[in-house]
Structure 1
Amino acid sequence: MTAHLILKIAHILSGAVLFGTGAGIAFFMLRAHMTKDPRTIASVGRMVVLADFVFTSTAVVIQPLSGLALIHLQGYALTEPWLVAAYVLYVLIGVCWLPVVWIQWRMTRLAEQAARDGASLPPLYHRLFMAWFALGWPAFAGVIAVYALMVAKPVF
């Protein structure tokens, strides 16, 4: 197996992990939120935060490293317009994702506290959920757009 093939597989798989983990996390957090049960939200939240740390953060590192190596091996200029668009989108995705990680962690802590106290979720939890939900959409759309750029390699 060549270095090019190994890098390509790593890049495709890390992209799949990035997209799949993000979609899975969104699904499970949303479903937990819909129960309005602090114990369920706390339990799912702990798993989601762990999954983000283990899978998403690993893919976030592998993506640019494998991508830059593939750019070099395939002879593309770093300034190809479709690559520059992908870089911009990757930064946008990161700008959305980083606060989402903190928000998920904070929502989980608030749900754990409510569960311990036998209380309802506090208003801060609901405000954080709305921010989490709002930040998820541009990140999700950005990942799809990066996939489109990687496949089409359009000429601008």
Structure 2
Amino acid sequence: MLYLGLKYVHVIAAIFLFGFGMGSYLYLIAASRAANPQVIAHVARMVVRYDAWITTPAGFIQILTGYMLTRLSGLPLTTEWVLVSLILFFIVGSLWLPVLVLQKRLQGMAVSAVERGAGLDADYQAVYRQWFWMGVFGFLGMFVIVLMMVTKMTPAQWLGLLM
């Protein structure tokens, strides 16, 4: 029963991590495309808050429950799909902290533009592009991790099946 309970929490945390992360990402993209500093400041404030309060803790819950599940099932961390997914998880996680910092910078830049009654400048666009592409690569990694969790296969094993 403990295993099934942990697996349930692991899946729910994955849904929160992926769902809230993707939602935040898409909302900030939509706000930025509006090019209205007031809208961007408001949306970015919410994105920063929800990513800090929900998405980030879900990532830590993923690590904890995933580790506990491998221990309970006797699955070594060196099992190929487990090891590759852990490596990808930490790569995606290494993108996550800078993304949080960039989101906070975007929020600050938008607030500053509102206070000055100005539009967003080239600096905003440069930070936004960096944030955008880190998000693209982070979510690609998350898609691969979820696929490995479901199939218990690495990308190399998938390619072997296709060939």
- Output the TM-score relative to the length of structure 2: 0.92
Distance in 2 between residues matched to 1:82 and 1:103, nearest whole Å:
31
CA distance in 1: counterparts of 2:29 and 2:137, whole angstroms: 17
Q: 1:110 matched to which residue of 2?
A: 109
Count of equivalent residues: 155
Q: State the secondary structure of the residue aligned to 1:102.
A: helix
- Corresponding residue for residue 35 of structure 2: 36
Q: Answer yes or no: is 1:150 the counterpart of 2:149.
A: yes
Q: What is the aligned-residue identity percentage?
A: 34
Q: Deviations over 1:41-68 (max 9, x none)?
A: 0000000000100111111110010000
Instruction: Quote the residue 2:121 is aligned against.
Output: 122
TM-score by structure 1 length? Answer: 0.96
Structure 1: 5+ residue stretches without partners: none
Structure 2 letter corresponding to 1:27: L
1 CA distance for matches of 2:145 and 2:49? 25
Cα offsets for 1:64-90 (capped at 9, x unmatched): 100000001111011001011001100
Matched, 1:52 2:51: yes
2:10 corresponds to: 11
| Counterpart residue type for residue 107 of structure 1 | L
List 4+ stretches of structure 1 deviating above 2 A.
Answer: none
- One-letter code of the match for 1:92? I
Q: Which residue type is aligned with residue 124 of structure 2? A: Y
The residue number in structure 2 matching 1:69 is 68
